[in-house]
Structure 1
Amino acid sequence: MSAAGRPLLGVEEEFHVVDLTTRRAAPEVDVLLPELDGAEFARELQRSLVETNTPVCETLDELGGHLRRLRARLESVASARGLGIVAAGTVPLVDLTGDDISAGARYEKMQHEYQMLVREQHICGAQVHVDVPDRDTAVQVVRRVAPYLSILLAISASSPYWRGHDTGYASYRSMVWSRWPTAGPPAMVETGAEYDAMVAQLIASGTISDPGMLYFDIRPSAHVPTVELRVCDACTEVDDVVLIAGLFRALVCRAREEIDAGQPLPAVSQELLRAAAWRAARSGLEGDLVDLAGPTLVSPPLLVGQLVQSLRPQLEELGDWEQIVELSQGTLLRGSGAARQRRMYGRRGELVDVVDALIENTQGRLLAIDPPVEAPLAQALLQDYHPATFDEAVSDGGTVLPAYGWMFRALDRLGPRGLVAAEAALATEQRARGVTFGDDGRLFPLDLVPRIITADDWQTLEPGLGQRVQALEHFLRDAYGDRRIVRDGIVPAAVLDNAPGRHRNGEIVPADVVRIAVAGIDLVRDAPDHWLVLEDNLRVPSGIGYSIMSRRLVRSVMSDLEPPTGVVGLEDVPGRLRAALLSATETGTPGHDEVALLSSGPSDSAFFEHELLATQMGVPVVTPRDLQVTDEGVYLVSVGSKRRLSALYRRMDEKDLMSSRGADMRPIGRALAAAVAKGRVALLNALGNGLADDKLVYAYVPDMIRFYLGEEPLLDSVPTYPCVDDARRAEVLDRLDELVLKPVDGYGGSGIVIGPHAERSELTEVEKQIRAEPARWVAQDMVQLSTHPTFSGRRLEPRAVDLRAFVLQSQYGGNAHLDVVPATLSRVAPAGSLIVNSSRGGGAKDTWILR
């Protein structure tokens, strides 16, 4: 451990020695070593291989400097003797004579015991050491880091050729290496004593002759107090070695934090670890990799991006964050070493060209394995891109973050003109499909650049959203029932009694009915790892259908941005919504599956969504004029037919519904409420839900979670100040220019005044209103919404975004079951605004949740 608290690290690199005339592996290491410092250079099993060892390093810059110095020294000695040095997992041209084994009793014994395995050991790797305090810690770290090794292998993959042929693998070295009896995933032991006992047993069995022959992908070092990474190919680019070393050190740091926190070991089988490593060896960075969290196949740039993002706290603590982001972007831009070798071979079909390029690239000299260096990623699109707050895709230094690298390469290929053409095609598609929002028929505003929600983020959001909806469900039942939360002094009675969304119909809903079938929870983030709930929507939240259609539209006009396999699909969401609705009916009774979506009709701003969801669920869209309510129940009436409905998915305002007329032209509201009270029909969402989602009640949701569930909130809320409270009101009036002022009964962004952005006249007017009717107002701290690149017509601009997530509740056996669906809707504010609502000029984005 360094004085600055960083774990120290070092790297061992193995290199092929090749003849500069034939470009074949040359067993000449014995002529090189006398000219080299024995402490930093060593022979390997084959005499055509040589190893370098860096000194112990504290920083990645220090490590990179030593790697370049040792490579340069090795080349200076080799070139004087007509030899070249290659850093790659394999060298394309090699003869397996069996006579080129280095001298020494250990190597001779290995040749006798392992026969062809030794003869074919013409492979090179890169090993990284990170220090740990003791052997028990080392064994624990090994187990915790093992699930991520396949990603590091994919980054390093540089051995597509073997004995003059393309193997079809990105890392054929891994295939050769895997034949050793102790190669592969680490042993499933948990302590240093168990590990040492296992080593002793393997030696006693005759399988290995010493601890150094344990060839696990990661292991406690046999001779120094470190954890050793062994899975990687030798890397032609020094930057790739530094990237792997930096990620590995961060993984070790995170594992040690997990140990200190008492977290259990990951439950990943050796079989799955082996499968993930095989896939990485097969694919490199050019094919899907195994995400063990699924398990599922995921695009490598997404998986690398997830890993970098998940390690951000450790990387920042180490001082490596910006450097690792830049290095990972460079690696993803270049592609794997294997792919670059194949590109070189494709030029003339000559393997000697590949060897020449490897020799030059090993020393950092460019010899056209790669095309000429390109302009900075998305330079034209990101011109003058200067986010004022945390941006989800672009770092402070203007570098595209790893999770978005591959996406921005596709956007870069399109360029501004291509995106303008895509926008025109998008508008044409929307008109053809009738994708509108608003009663004036305007097209639903949709941006072309998708937003990514990482798997780590989703694992944070999913339980927090479920917890919040569960507490709100308890609150609604209690508020219209015994009011325990008032009696116990958690929420003032006035908050319930004066709530704008309170309605007497809420009292007639049967006690055992799930009131919140569909919740729309709005979230924002103000930092990479911090999400806050901004608002709860429990009446008729819209957006599920627009989320589904956004995915289809973006795919139809942006074929280069086809969501990879690592993105959660939305195909099953309508079926999950229908199942939630049907759960409120009496299964097994005739007509229990007769469900309809209740809408006010084409005049509703979201009528397109109503029709889309109904079609996807296989149910009709009905208006009050299509319904007849009798003592027996609610009937859908059409020409020549009449059928009873068991459930209605309510997508119209409660007041409008209560004042509507039915098929017989009689007022339908009171009769429908009576049918609900008698259990003749399920109305979802329930009447009276507005009590729980106004701006004042929002302030008490964290207390609800503690009161009803006995848990601490998993998601933060924005600090909120009810103006009805005298002390809070005085504070608000004193800070009007710092706070966001919201009317309690406002929706769609109406009536909101953002203090720091408001004119003096606006603040004066809102002050008058607060003083006159304090119960109608709340204030909230100003939250710096994250931004996301959004196409403005000629370039990308940072625009504020929020996320509407949807939680479904189903009712089985009297209990509610939560389902947080992946059909989330990212909403985008207009330029210069923080209000994302479509009714206020906001737009939307296709949102990709990673598995």
Structure 2
Amino acid sequence: MTYRPTVATAVPELTTLTLGVEEEFLLLDPETGENLPVADRVLTALPGPARDQSRQEFRHSMVEMVTPVTADLAELRAQLVALRRSAAEAAEAAGARLVAVGATPLREPHRTVPDKPRYHAMSRRYGPVAHDPAVCGCHVHVGVPDRELAVQVCNHLRQWLPVVQAITTNSPLHDGADTGHASWRGMQLERWPSIGPTPYFASATDYDRTVDELIAAGIMLDAAMVYWYARPSPAYPTVEIRVGDVCPTVDDTVLVAALVRALVATVLDDVRAGILAPPVRDCLVSAAHWRAAHDGLDGDLIDLRAGGARPAWALVDELFATVTPALVRHGDLAYVVAQLARLRDEGTGATRQRRILERTGDLRAVLADLAAQTRG
């Protein structure tokens, strides 16, 4: 399909929704490809502004960079470029490569958690699951200050998030081999009891009551451990979409952020119009996410609206058509058209990794290419 949408002449007014992105990165040994536990050194070496936008993560071989809030896609892109460059330079100073990849591709010899009470509590509660090799995601925050609206937005997103997940797949490798899954990160995370598709909630009260019950049952330590694929953020007035692997390039990330913002804007219109989220069984939503993690965009996805498996790109086309009015209202249409065309031509991060591995037979060549894409 060629992306040439027909845009209505009369477009309803929409307040521009704000955006923020969190990207998690691995720190890898340039020679061996193994995870390097040098996050503390990298964070210390960051220049002041970048350090303020960084976070310590659950692994000594991970860093997270967080953009400031913006409503402008070009500004978001510039922020991501600057943060990645600063983090890459700090990683190189610590003898590591900053790599945007969704799951540990080779090995992680050091799996102790940073010395924080919360991390130690998670380690005690979840045991070996908490010591799996590191995984890295891309989290997109979209401004929705009303929690009641935010919960309803999450209900409506359920049918589309497997498509978003497929677009971001960027972790086919584990233990030095192709797993057969486009997102091995998606498979690893399924072992955590508080991660997965967002349940359907009747209201914000229903949401809060359910979270309280899960905490009381010992499933979560606290409300911050709600790691569902979409959630009202516990810290910000946003809906946070956290289904995707970290993307290999800045343009991949910005494409996902633009599509997610347009999707949130579109379903907000539906919620305000009194349109109820379609009832989709949890087992089918879970199956759709499994298929997205397995196939990426190189196979089929499950259509949660019509039922059955369909070519992945057919659902990407339909997602694009659904959110086109919101892309127009935010001024993001031209960028998304160009980046979807590039994605169709180049493939997802998982596809690109497999292509290099097939051509070279050398995992180090894959990781070197990923590091170059990360740095930009």
Fold match (TM-score > 0.5): yes
Aligned to 1:232: 244
Q: How much has 1:121 moved relative to structure 2?
A: 4.4
Q: Distance in 2 between matches of 1:334 and 1:239?
A: 12
Q: Which residue of 1 aligns with 2:156?
A: 144
CA distance in 2: counterparts of 1:13 and 1:142, whole angstroms = 21
Structure 1 residue 361: Cα displacement: 1.0
Counterpart CA distance in 1 for 2:335 and 2:281 is 33
Look up the match of 1:613: none
Correspondence for 1:26:
36
* Matched residue, 1:42: 55
SS at match of 1:289: strand
Which of 230, 243, 261 is 2:255 aligned to?
243
Which structure would you say has the larger RCO, counting Cα contacts within 8 Å and 6 or more residues apart? 2
Q: Does residue 14 of structure 1 match 2:24?
A: yes
2:171 is equivalent to residue 159 of structure 1: yes
- Percent of aligned pairs with the same residue? 39
Task: Give the aligned partner of residue 266 of structure 2.
Answer: 254
- What is the aligned partner in structure 2 of residue 280 from structure 1? 292
Q: 1:353 to 1:91 in 2, by over 3 A?
A: farther
Query: Any residues of structure 2 matched to 1:750-769 within 5 Å, and which?
Result: none
Letter in 2 for 1:26: L
The answer as to whether partners of 1:171 and 1:338 remain within 8 angstroms in 2 is yes
In the aligned structure 2, how far is the partner of 1:283 from the partner of 1:238? 23
Aligned Cα root-mean-square deviation (Å): 1.4
Letter in 2 for 1:147: Q
1:178/1:184 contact within 8 Å kept = yes
Count of matched residue pairs: 361
Equivalent position amino acid for 2:52 in 1:
A
User: What do residues 163-222 of structure 1 show as CA deviations (whole Å, max 9, x unaligned)?
Assistant: 212110000100001111011111221211111111111111111111111111111101
| Matched-pair contact (CA < 8 Å) for 1:96–1:119 | no
Answer whether contact 1:125 1:231 (CA < 8 A) is retained. yes
- Is the 8 Å Cα contact of residues 38 and 61 (structure 2) preserved in structure 1? yes
Aligned residue for 1:311, secondary structure, equals: helix
Distance apart, 1:348 and its partner CA:
2.6
Question: Where do residues 369-768 of structure 1 align in structure 2 (5 Å cutoff)?
Answer: none
Indicate which of 55, 76, 97 corresponds to 1:84: 97
Distance (Å, rounded) in 2 between the aligned partners of 1:148 and 1:117:
28
Q: Are the counterparts in 2 of residues 95 and 163 from structure 1 also a CA contact under 8 Å?
A: no
Report SS of the residue matched to 2:27.
strand
Task: Quote the residue 1:188 is aligned against.
Answer: 200
Q: Distance in 1 between matches of 2:364 and 2:206?
A: 48
Q: Write the letter of the residue equivalent to 1:204.
A: A
Structure 1: which amino acid aligns with 2:60?
R
C-alpha separation in 1, matches of 2:277 and 2:165: 22
**Alignment counterpart, residue 337 of structure 1, candidates 349, 354, 358:** 349
| 1:94 matched residue in structure 2 | 107
Looking at structure 2, the residues matched to 235 and 345 of structure 1 have their Cα atoms a distance apart, in angstroms, of: 18
Structure 1 position 59 matched with structure 2 position 72: yes
Cα distance in 2 for residues equivalent to 1:131 and 1:280: 26
SS at match of 2:228: coil
Cα deviation 1:253-282 (Å, max 9, x = unaligned): 111111111112211111111111100100
SS at structure 1 position matched to 2:52? coil
1:74 maps onto 2:117 in alignment: no
Task: Please name the residue that 1:267 is paired with.
Answer: 279
1:305: which partner in 2?
317
1:17–1:28 CA contact under 8 A, matched in 2 = yes
Report if aligned partners of 2:198, 2:228 keep a CA contact under 8 Å in 1. yes
Asked if residue 5 in structure 1 is aligned to residue 15 in structure 2, the reply is: yes
Aligned twin of 2:138:
126
Say which SS state the counterpart of residue 10 (structure 1) adopts. strand
Distance, in Å, in 2 between the alignment partners of 1:96 and 1:287 is 34
Residues 172 and 182, structure 2, Cα contact 8 Å, conserved in 1: yes
How far residue 91 of structure 1 moved from its aligned partner, in angstroms, is: 3.3
**Cα separation, 2, equivalents of 1:289 and 1:273:** 11
The alignment partner of 1:115 has SS state of: helix
Q: TM (normalized to structure 1)?
A: 0.42
1:712-734 Cα offsets, whole Å, 9 max, x none, are xxxxxxxxxxxxxxxxxxxxxxx
Aligned partner letter, 1:184: G
Query: Displacement of 1:156 after TM fit?
Result: 0.5
Spell out, residue by residue over 1:7-46, the C-alpha distance to the aligned partner (whole angstroms, 9 max, x if none): 1010000000012222211011011112224420111101
Counterpart amino acid of residue 290 in structure 1: I
Once the two structures are superposed, residues 798-835 of structure 1 have per-residue CA deviations (whole angstroms, 9 ceiling, x without a partner) of: xxxxxxxxxxxxxxxxxxxxxxxxxxxxxxxxxxxxxx
Q: Pick from 220, 228, 231: which aligns with 2:232?
A: 220
Q: Residue in 1 aligned with 2:185?
A: 173
Q: Please name the residue that 2:8 is paired with.
A: none
Instruction: Summarize the Cα distance change of 1:248–1:313 in structure 2 as closer, same or farther, 3 Å threshold.
Output: same
How far off its partner does 1:97 sit?
4.4
Would you say the 8 A contact 1:216–1:230 is kept in 2? yes
- The answer (yes or no) to whether the contact 2:357–2:366 under 8 Å persists in 1 is yes
C-alpha contact (below 8 Å) 2:196/2:228 kept by paired residues: yes
Indicate if the aligned counterparts of 2:182 and 2:350 stay in contact, CA closer than 8 A: yes
Q: TM-score, normalised by structure 2?
A: 0.93
Matched AA of 1:348: T
Partner residue of 2:304 out of 260, 269, 292: 292
> Which structure shows the higher strand fraction?
1
